[in-house]
Amino acid sequence: MSIPATLYWSGEADGHLRLIDQTLLPNALVEMECHDVPTVFEAIRSLRVRGAPAIGIAAAYGLCLAAQQATDASSLRTAVAAAAEHLATSRPTAVNLFWALERMRAWLDEQPADLTVDDLRSALLTEAQTIHDEDRRMCRAIGRRGAPLLAHVQGVLTHCNAGGLATSEYGTALAVIYTAHESGQSLHVYVDETRPLLQGARLTAWELQQHGIHATLICDSMAAHVMQAGRVQAVVVGADRIAANGDVANKIGTYGVALAAAAHGIPFYVAAPSSTFDLALASGQDIPIEQRAAEEITEPFGTRIAPTKINVYNPAFDVTPAEYIAAIICEQGVIQPVTAASIRALLTH
């Protein structure tokens, strides 16, 4: 069984964006409507929509909403440029956000000056929908490319959520697992809860249940133990940004999982579309790391669990060096070994 669409555009150029409010899962499956750019910004910032590919898609549709407010072609171009700059400040780490916004802006710049405002609105929507459709195809391709890596695996561990909720519909890391499952392979997935916002417990565990895949939820601190116990033979995670040398930024806690996997001789795989690579950054040291609110740790889901006025450090992501990554799976193929040369060879061929 597939889960509902993570996000989609409803109507024609004068329509609106609808998306699953992921902050309410798994207790309630609720769609929210976005009729303007501030609503899209808030949805991205507050993690109502999350996951690098899904953020990029939402931002592209956000520019379509900005175009609705224009009265002529000139004001449309101005409104879209302003909206792109604003949406780019919503979250700093996921490169798909900036990739999608730049692609939409570059496309708009290439359009003839004599197009009407209605023509531009329709064309903007078409480009956003193209980005959306491309992500669907990329996710399916990632699944096909990566599934053979799990051919002799019984237990696989994943961290955070890199499934349909983080993308257009099928996921990146979970696409590999879904494809293996659909081919008849019996897998048992160990799901890190992923503190402090529990995307693994709330989202990945829910997704795997919807797909009928055997899953066991564990605390983040149990990952090394289940590896030591022989329950896991592979790790598959997603990514929010990948530097030119193969260093990967992903949800906080990923680096620790990679270290534990290395200590136990377990392959650590990263699954991500080519749009997640940022070849302008030489290494992971150059990746900006988002700092989140202290309340996410001291008052998770509205309940205070720490003393007041305690100092809090809350980075949303960490960086896993390429040396700990057995392979990166993208829609164009499997990058193995993970080096700057092998990345460029695949992405630029």
- Active site residue ranges: 240
Phi/psi region, residue 333 (left: phi>0; alpha: psi -120 to 50; beta: rest), is left
Q: What contacts 166, CB < 8 A, 6 or more positions away?
A: 6, 50, 51, 52, 53, 54, 172, 238
Nearest to 122 by CA among 111, 135, 106, 136: 111
Helix (H) / strand (E) element for 121: namely: helix 117-146
CB 333 within 8 A of CB 346: yes
Question: What is residue 271's DSSP assignment?
Answer: E
- CA atoms of 295 and 284, how far apart (whole Å): 27
What are the CB-based long-range contacts (under 8 Å, 24+) for 23-32?
Answer: 23/47, 23/48, 25/165, 25/202, 25/203, 25/206, 26/202, 26/203, 26/205, 26/206, 29/4, 31/4
Nearest to 162 by CA among 152, 154, 171: 171
- CA atoms of 310 and 298, how far apart (whole Å): 8
The rounded Cα 264 to chain-centroid distance in angstroms is 27
